[in-house]
Every structure is written in C-alpha cells, then in structure tokens.
Amino acid sequence: MAAKEKVFVVKVGGNVIDNPALLDTFLADFAKVPGRKVLIHGGGKIATRIGDKLGIESKYLNGRRITDAETVDVVTMVYGGLVNKQIVAKLQAAGANAIGLTGADANIIPAVKRPVKDVDYGFVGDIPAGTVQTAPLQLLLDAGLTPVLSPLTHDGKGQILNTNADTIASSVAVALASHYDVRLVFCFEKKGVLRDANDDDSVINLINQDVYRELLAAGALSDGILPKLENAFAAIGNGVKEVLIGHADDLRRNTSDAVAGTLIC
C-alpha cells in the first residue's frame, strides 16, 4: 500500500489573533510549512470589542460564549469576514494559496444546534462524529490550495452556528486521517502544556492517558488547556497520527521532526 500524503492541520488561538506582531510572524511561518496544510483560527477578543461598540453585550457561561441571534451575526462578520479574510490576504502575500471558509461553505462542517438542557447556549453548533465532509477539503488540498477555516458551522437549514475552534480542528483532523497522515498542531501563547501554570518553562514534553489522569487528579491543568487536551485525545483515539500543543512561535519546529512543545500520544 502506498504511503499516505502528509497533512498538517494547524489551529491558532485567539490570543495570537489578538496580537498583530505575533500573528504576522505566525502567518509568515505557516506559509512556509511545506505540502498540504489546513489552518483553523480562533476568534479572539475582537468580536467582543465590536459587539460592545454595536451595543450587543457578550455573555459567557463556563467559559463558553452564549450566542444569541445578534451575537451570531457579530461572530459571522468578525470570524468569517474580518479575521478570516485578513489572514487569507496575508497568507496570499506570503506565498500560500489560501482559501478562507466557514463550515457552511461547500457544506464542509454540517453541525447541529446544541440542545437546550440546563443552559441555552443559543446558536452554538456541535459536530456529530463522522459528519465533516472530506471531499471538498481533498479537492482543495490536492489542487495546492490551503483551506483557512473560521470557527463557524451551519445547521443545513440556513443558520450559521458558532463552534469552538479546537473542536473544529480536532474534527477536521480526524476526518482527514482516513485519507492522509495527519499531524494536528495546536498553537497558542504558551510553550506547551505546563506542569506549573506560573512557570512558562515547565513544559511537559509527552502526555499519554496515564500522565493526563495524574495531571487531572493533581488539578494541574488550567481551564484553557483542558478542552485542547480533550480534543487532542479525541483526535489520537480516532486515527490522527500525532498531536502537538505548542507556542505559535514554534510552528516551524512543530511541523518538522525536531518538535517543541507537548506531544500527545
């Protein structure tokens, strides 16, 4: 059997999006990653800033945005328009043939509006297992294009939905793993998963299920890192070859053999 082609699925977080200098460096590095690659970007605080100016209050519960009808319009504008297209224009300038998309485009990510239980999260989309459409992604990747996905999906009935970018990254990586050797790289503003949240150099180089359980028991994991690790283990458990969590500045190393950051296995 022929070896599968390699694909890097790279997620860049909101804190990087909010820092123009860090973002520019990151995008220049991302453009240089060889071969097939997909970028998934978070939203950052700009949606909150623009929502505030428009008189639309941002509401959060357990760290998740409550997305009412006005808010879904704001995130559609900001994530799907401003952030996504600025990234695309910059990647084009840096030599990557980027194409900016939401999960509604080409029906790449059909999602379901989160059911209302104790909390109504509003227009938030969950991605059922096995629903990400790989055909359009393969069409683009095999033509030398670089999909840039914003954290938006749709319900197939005409409604855009707000969806966590880590979840999109993990779901896309799993879907592509049927066709490619996938390395999923989460890029944020820390060097990796830290043993001590106050010590930026306490990076844990390798996390497996045993280490994960120890860290959970010790309460060593911050709220921000937990969903990344959950998504990382979900990816590894579903065919993704490698998952890395590291600093945006370390992207070049984390897309080579000399990895920095935290390797999940």
Q: Token digits for 214? A: 């120890």
Of 112 and 220, nearer to its own copies (C-beta) is 112
Report how far apart the first and last C-alpha atoms of the chain are (Å, whole number): 25
Binding flag, residue 36, its own copies (CB under 8 A): no
Q: Which residues touch 58 (CB under 8 Å, ≥6 apart)?
A: 47, 48, 51, 52, 65, 71
Contacts to its own copies from residues 50-79, by CB under 8 A: 50, 53-55, 73, 76-79
Q: Are 152 and 124 in contact (CB under 8 A)?
A: no
Site pattern 88..127 for its own copies (x: CB under 8 A): xxx-xx---xxxxxx-xxxx--------------------
- Number of neighbouring beta carbons within 10 Å of residue 6: 15
Determine which residue in the list 59, 85, 241, 252 makes contact with its own copies, applying CB under 8 A. Answer: 85
Binding flag, residue 145, its own copies (CB under 8 A): yes
Strand pairing of 160-162 and 152-154? antiparallel
**Which residues are part of a known binding site?**
43-44, 65, 162
| Single-letter amino acid, residue 260 | A
Report, in Å, the least distance between residue 241 CB and its own copies: 27
DSSP assignment of 31-53 equals: HHS-SEEEEEE---THHHHHHHH
Q: Token digits for 29? A: 């590095």
Determine which residue in the list 15, 136, 202, 238 makes contact with its own copies, applying CB under 8 A. Answer: 136
Of 106 and 204, nearer to its own copies (C-beta) is 106
Length, in residues, of the chain = 265
Report, in Å, the least distance between residue 150 CB and its own copies: 8
Interface contacts to its own copies, rule CB under 8 A: 50, 53-55, 73, 76-82, 84-86, 88-90, 92-93, 97-102, 104-107, 136, 139, 143, 145, 152, 154, 156-160
